[in-house]
Amino acid sequence: MTGRVVVVKLGSSSVTSPSGAPNRAVIGSICEQLAGLRSAGHRAVLVSSGAIAAGWAALGDGRPPPADPALLQAVSAVGQPTVVGAWLEALAGVGLTGGQVLLAPLDFVHRRQYLHARQTLQHLLELGVVPVVNENDAVADEEIRFGDNDRLAALVAHLVGASMLVLLTDTPGLLTADPREVAHASLIEEVVEIDQQLERRAGGPGSPLGSGGMASKLAAAKIATWSGIETVIADAARPGVLASALAGAPGVGTVFRARPRAVPARKLWIAFALSSAGTVVVDDGARQALLGGGRSLLPAGVVAVSGSFEPDDAVEVRDQAGQLVAKGLVRCPSARAGEWVGRRTEELPADLAHEVVHRDDMVVLGD
């Protein structure tokens, strides 16, 4: 099959060497593979980490990396040109033109910015350019940011209408256990549904200068598969990994099958691009009504409210065991939601909206 759009993401552990300098062998190999995809009629968007690692390699003098997020943002301003320069040089070496694109979460939240970002990326692809995407780390607001490039890559895949997201890392894929602790951990080759048990199995970050890890890749795979996009987690060092992923070769990595019904763009923003300002806890009856689909959340089903939020802020809806049920935009401020806990509709003022979260502004995420 030809003419597909694929988003390829590489983490810091693959893009940079242990010293933090760009790993030109890996970068060169991936660019050669991207040239092969282009020859086969495919188009690719590249999402690259490594800015902080490369920046600290230039500034750190062998010291351990700092923990201060603001300082790391400043460090990324030094590393970003280094990493992008390595990609552009390697792409030029195989006859491809690259172009840097820096994105922020608000580009996915506000529709006008979303459409503008999509148009820019589409034009670059039409012009034969390989977009090299990263978060605008140096000026990103700590309160409003992606947190890792895995989630950014998944949102970009949705933005450009990709048919596949390939998350390249330094492991063969999702394993049955942490290989650092269990010597005989084996590869999970296919995942049909990402459930809570699978999410609990994922570990934390694997590199001190990376922000990802398998947990963030699972989160990214969930975003992508909910968008109708098949996702593969695979080893960046595997020869021909991109062609193998597109061909569906057995054992290429862990393949996450796309959900048959994709979530609309607006609900994808609500579910995965907006930070939660609070939590609304619901009783079992409300939980079942929400999971059954098509129901708004009313005060009668609410048992507790936490956080400080205003109308149109995003909140998590959890059951009394703490399990995530849904996420949505609230219709009322937290103070009123707290006052109305457990009240039936006939007990509420007639001139105010009665829904805590309307079904049109809600994404059901629980099992």
Q: pLDDT tens for residues 269-302? A: 788 777 899 999 999 999 999 998 779 999 999 9
| Cα-Cα end-to-end distance for the chain | 34
The residues of the chain scoring below 50 in pLDDT are: 1, 142-145, 204-211
Report the pLDDT value the prediction gives residue 144, as an integer from 0 to 100.
38
Report the pLDDT value the prediction gives residue 205, as an integer from 0 to 100.
45
Q: 5-263 domain in CATH 3.40.1160.10?
A: yes
* Tokens 């061909």 -> residue: 247
Q: Which residues of 12-42 are buried (b: 16+ CB within 10 A; e: fewer)?
A: bbbbbbeebbbbeebbbbbbbbbbebbeeeb
Write out the DSSP string of 38-66: HHTT-EEEEEE--HHHHHHHHHSTTPPPP
Report the pLDDT value the prediction gives residue 204, as an integer from 0 to 100.
46
- What residue spans in the chain does CATH classification 2.30.130.10 cover? 275-364
Q: Read off the amino acid at residue 308.
A: S
Alpha helices, H only, the chain: 12-15, 24-39, 51-59, 69-93, 106-109, 111-126, 149-159, 196-201, 214-226, 241-247, 265-268, 284-291, 334-339
Report the pLDDT value the prediction gives residue 318, as an integer from 0 to 100.
96
- pTM for the structure as a whole: 0.83
- What residue spans in the chain does CATH classification 3.40.1160.10 cover? 5-263
Report the pLDDT value the prediction gives residue 209, as an integer from 0 to 100.
41
Report the pLDDT value the prediction gives residue 147, as an integer from 0 to 100.
54
Strands 5-10 and 43-48 come out as parallel
What CATH code would you report for 275-364? 2.30.130.10
> Which SS3 state, helix, strand or coil, does residue 317 take?
strand
CB-based contact 49:79 (threshold 8 Å)? no
Q: How far apart are CA 112 and CA 38, in angstroms?
A: 30
Q: Could you tell me how many residues make up the chain?
A: 367
Strands 357-364 and 190-191 come out as unpaired
